[in-house]
Structure 1
Amino acid sequence: MVDAVGPGPDVLTGALAWRPLTAADLPLLGRWLAEPRVRRWWHHETSPEAVARDFGPSVRGEEPGEDLVVLLDGRPVGLLQRCRIEDYPEELAELSALVDVPAGAVCIDYLLGEEALRGRGLGTRLVATAVRRTWVDHPDAPAVVVPVVAANTASRRVLEKAGFRRVAEGPLAPENPVDDPLHVVYRVDRPGTG
């Protein structure tokens, strides 16, 4: 997948693409997950063994969701996760207690691995591009639904700038146990259906 914005060194104009995560990417992913601002919200163990344990099933094609390395002008800069919510029954049940989750709805999550790339519009651009590509890659997906821990205001702003609307809030198990369970749920509908 390549965004048609075109090449260039700036995060707002550089070519944005992604590809499936591979075993060779796991050391880099471990470094990104250890970066303090990423670690705060993703809360993953970062040892090579833990990263292989947590992301190996995706690399081997054993996971229904997608783990995708985000590329800016061909250089790895982050991770995009995308999945059909119904492929994860526990998450579907928990989220459905707060909001209607239509059949075929997709969820995304993302991280930018380098501090220097944050706060410059790349996260918003990544999310907006991921949504546009979801309509092509998942033609039966009626919506993208994303729960975000309420305290993660930066991620919430990215979703809002990318066109998501707030549709619910309530308790969900947080990724990081230090967080309050309060989450805000955002949704964007396939054009022409919402």
Structure 2
Amino acid sequence: MEQDAFDLAHISLRPLSLSDADDFMVWATDERVAKFCTWESSTSKDAAADYIQNNAKSCSLFQAICLGDRVIGFISVRSFEGNDEGRAKSAELGYVLGFKYWGKGIATKVVKQVVEMAFADLPDLERLEAVVDVENVASQRVLEKAGFRREGILRKFLFMKGKSRDMVMFSVISDEVGA
């Protein structure tokens, strides 16, 4: 299937598993993809398998983004429950997509789908948030198209890859979904 010759109907979600490590390596080794991620680009299949296994355990939802039978990215929802009692009704959304699939509507489609899944599957969830690097304008657009509201800039919010990074906070509230 050509990279530009697909329709969004061929995009699906399923649990990400260790058997997806080869597909994971295709985009996880790409510096363009890793640039805005908290993790460094993966350099070995073992590192990819370790990342998949450890993150799947810590997330309420951890799904592969698939084009046909190929894993082209992943999306996750990590609950704050148990970490911070005051944030128990909140969770954080994260996603990553292979570079050659950027700008094709895939991320927007899966973010919308996962927002609905998260609020349906996590009955106590009231707030779903995402933080995005201020330089990652494309990801900010994805969240806005998916119904998230921009709340503001968190100055020097993360120390990542050797420097403090400003991040933009976005959120969607349960009663805004499907409205």
Residues in 2 aligned to 1:54 and 1:162: alpha-carbon distance in whole angstroms: 27
- Aligned-partner residue type, residue 112 of structure 1: L
Alignment of 1:15-26 (within 5 A): 15-26=10-21
Match in the other structure for 2:54 = 57
Residues in 1 aligned to 2:97 and 2:171: alpha-carbon distance in whole angstroms: 21
CA separation of 1:63 and 1:102: change in aligned 2, threshold 3 A: closer
CA separation of 1:25 and 1:166: change in aligned 2, threshold 3 A: same
Residues in 1 aligned to 2:35 and 2:113: alpha-carbon distance in whole angstroms: 25
Aligned equivalent of 2:90, options 60, 80, 105:
105
Aligned 8 A contact 1:102 1:143 in 2:
no
Residues in 2 aligned to 1:145 and 1:184: alpha-carbon distance in whole angstroms: 10
Aligned 8 A contact 1:69 1:80 in 2:
yes
Match in the other structure for 1:81 = 76
CA separation of 1:137 and 1:74: change in aligned 2, threshold 3 A: farther
Match in the other structure for 2:121 = 137
- CA deviations 1:79-102 (Å, max 9, x no partner) are 111110235x3xx69xxxxxxx74
Q: 1 or 2, which has the higher strand percentage?
A: 2
Residues in 2 aligned to 1:120 and 1:192: alpha-carbon distance in whole angstroms: 25
Cα deviation for residue 143 of structure 1 reads 1.3
- CA deviations 1:60-117 (Å, max 9, x no partner) are xx43443211123454222111110235x3xx69xxxxxxx743212111111251x2
Match in the other structure for 1:97 = none
CA separation of 1:24 and 1:73: change in aligned 2, threshold 3 A: closer
Q: CA RMSD in A?
A: 2.6
Match in the other structure for 1:98 = none
Unaligned runs of 5+ in 1: 1-7, 94-100
Alignment of 1:143-162 (within 5 A): 143-162=127-146
Aligned 8 A contact 2:130 2:171 in 1:
yes
Aligned 8 A contact 2:157 2:165 in 1:
yes
Asked if 1:173 is matched to 2:173, the reply is no
Unaligned runs of 5+ in 2: none
Match in the other structure for 1:67 = 62
- TM-score, with normalisation over the residues of structure 1? 0.75
Residues in 2 aligned to 1:71 and 1:31: alpha-carbon distance in whole angstroms: 13
Match in the other structure for 1:3 = none
Report which stretch shifted further, 35-44 or 145-154.
35-44
- Aligned-partner residue type, residue 149 of structure 2: R
